[in-house]
Amino acid sequence: MKNPGTRLKNVAAKLPDTPGVYKFLDSKGKIIYVGKALRLKKRVASYFQAGRARDSRLELLVSKVRDIKFIRASSEAEALIYEAGLIKDHNPKFNIELKDDKSYPFLKLTVNEKYPRLFLTRRRVSDGALYYGPYVNVKLLKEAVSFMKKVFPLRTCRRLRKTVCLEYHIGQCYGPCEGKITEKDYRRIAGQLKKFLEGKKDDLMQMLEREMIKFSKKQKYEKASAIKKRIEALTAIQQLHDRAQHPIFGELDELQNALNLPKLPVVIECFDISNIGGRQSVGSMVKFIAGSPRKSGYKKFRIRTVFEQDDYTMIREVVARRYSRLLDEKKTLPDLILIDGGRGHLSVAASELKKLGLEDIPVASIAKEHNHLYTLKRRAPIRLSPGSRLLLLIQRIRDEAHRVAITYHRKLRRSDKFNTELRKIKGIGPAKEKILLESFGNMEKIKRASKKKILEAGLDWRAAEGIVRYFKQKRS
């Protein structure tokens, strides 16, 4: 029979490298230990490393393990919720740190109240409310509560007020005190939160989609829109599982607030231009998902339409090429587009998006000089604090776009792939090509130029004759 340790190492090696909960089972299939991890594969594999120093309790635990099961989560904070629920349901004998329930906080959902609340408590009593936990990691728990408060904005006041407070005005309470929401709708949302706390995310998403369709058909568009935002927020945390340090409660949250974005900018695409004196120009686009580069999504562009010093036209070209193609291929669009440049670069990028019917995609630009962010809705730039997490995120994305553009530019220069169609014409070499591009600015103007204009640019009669004849034959 195969050594259990070797088999379990193989099982651990096949686990996803994402946040989640792992369960150790004994020879009878009983759960003997439950743990959470930011990276399941790495954490579980560490138990079975040869020569690892272990205390007697851990040694005993490893000797009893015969199988490993796991539940994938979107973040470590979400894994924390699942871990506590499993420990409560199965009471694994090796999870001794949770034996004293009074030492750690619970989440309390007051379904026994007319308008339920969600909050932390260290006392568990029989009062008709629902309790989840206990939770060891209080910091992660507070992060999870912060997220849930935004997605499911239940009241936090101990006694129902007579008028709405600040929580309502910042979108973190539905305002039941002034009748801003019916009791039925409020309890429906509390029920959705209950499903989330119980880890029934798939059921919850299906429920939300059904409700959104129902309200839309009844032309209750405000309710349908609110549900859509809830779905987007829950989808966003699902997309964060491939990041070691998920920024849902950090940089991306700050970016959403700074730019007043309709949803968390999980997918960001950033553009940059690299050229030498307007000639030999290229563009780059880098893709970041959940704050991390997704190199398989990077794009490089040879500038086709302009050969003069005109960054604005180059930005127009690469933005138009990128998103017209995404539309043609019916692929997912980004949550935010960043442009390396100032207000002018932002304006031309936005105009190209509008031509494509994509004016709803948020777009912003970042100027190198002062690290200012420009948006379409604000006249004054957003000044980012030096050393702030938000600025570091933006700089990281912008610098990566710049690096890709520069690298591509150098590669093409070395391979001499910047040659234009002009080189196919007899008697036109690098020097004459340079004169033409600098004089006319782009190939379209050269193709339509008369002999007189070409002679005025500084070329001889034979070269001018050859150019006009070549492009005339191509048109015929």
Which DSSP string do the residues of 238-284 spell out, in sequence order? HGGGG-TT--TTTHHHHHHHHHT-SS---EEEEEEEEEETTEEEEEE
* 383 lies in the same domain as 459: no
Given a cut of 90, whether residue 426 has pLDDT beyond it is no
Q: What separation in angstroms does the CA of 60 have from each of 32, 65, 68, 259? A: 11, 9, 16, 53
Counts for the chain of helices (H) and strands (E), in that order: 17, 14
Which range of residues forms the domain containing residue 88?
A: 4-99
Q: How many CA atoms lie within 13 A of 138 on its CB side?
A: 7
Rounded CA-CA distance 19/17 in Å is 7
SS3 (DSSP) at 23: strand
Rounded CA-CA distance 270/401 in Å is 6
The total of structural domains in the chain comes to 4
* 94 lies in the same domain as 110: no
Dig out the tokens for 250 from the structure: 């950090």
Give the confidence band of 244 by pLDDT, cuts at 50, 70, 90: very low
* 172 lies in the same domain as 88: no
Given a cut of 90, whether residue 429 has pLDDT beyond it is no
* 373 lies in the same domain as 308: yes
* 319 lies in the same domain as 376: yes
Pair 306, 441: CB distance under 8 Å: yes
* 296 lies in the same domain as 347: yes
- Backbone φ and ψ of 39, nearest 5°: -135, 100
DSSP state of 235: H
Average pLDDT in the 141-158 region?
Answer: 82
Assess if residue 247 is contained within a domain.
no
Q: Which amino acid is at 146?
A: S
Sequence-distant (6+) residues with CB within 8 A of 455 are: 461, 464
Assess if residue 159 is contained within a domain.
yes
Assess if residue 141 is contained within a domain.
yes
Domain boundary at 380, 396, 415, which?
415
The CATH number of residue 438's host domain is 1.10.150.20
Average pLDDT in the 9-13 region?
Answer: 88
The CATH number of residue 17's host domain is 3.40.1440.10
Strand partners, 336: 268
* 267 lies in the same domain as 394: yes
Rounded CA-CA distance 173/303 in Å is 50
* 411 lies in the same domain as 435: no
Name the least confident of 5-14, 236-245, 458-467: 236-245
* 399 lies in the same domain as 446: no
* 293 lies in the same domain as 342: yes
User: What DSSP line would sit under 74-112, residue for residue?
Assistant: SSHHHHHHHHHHHHHHH--TT-GGGS-GGGS-EEEE-TT
Assess if residue 313 is contained within a domain.
yes
* pLDDT given for residue 222 in this prediction: 82
Name the least confident of 24-33, 134-143, 149-158, 350-359: 134-143
Assess if residue 230 is contained within a domain.
yes
Name the least confident of 80-89, 157-166, 380-389: 380-389
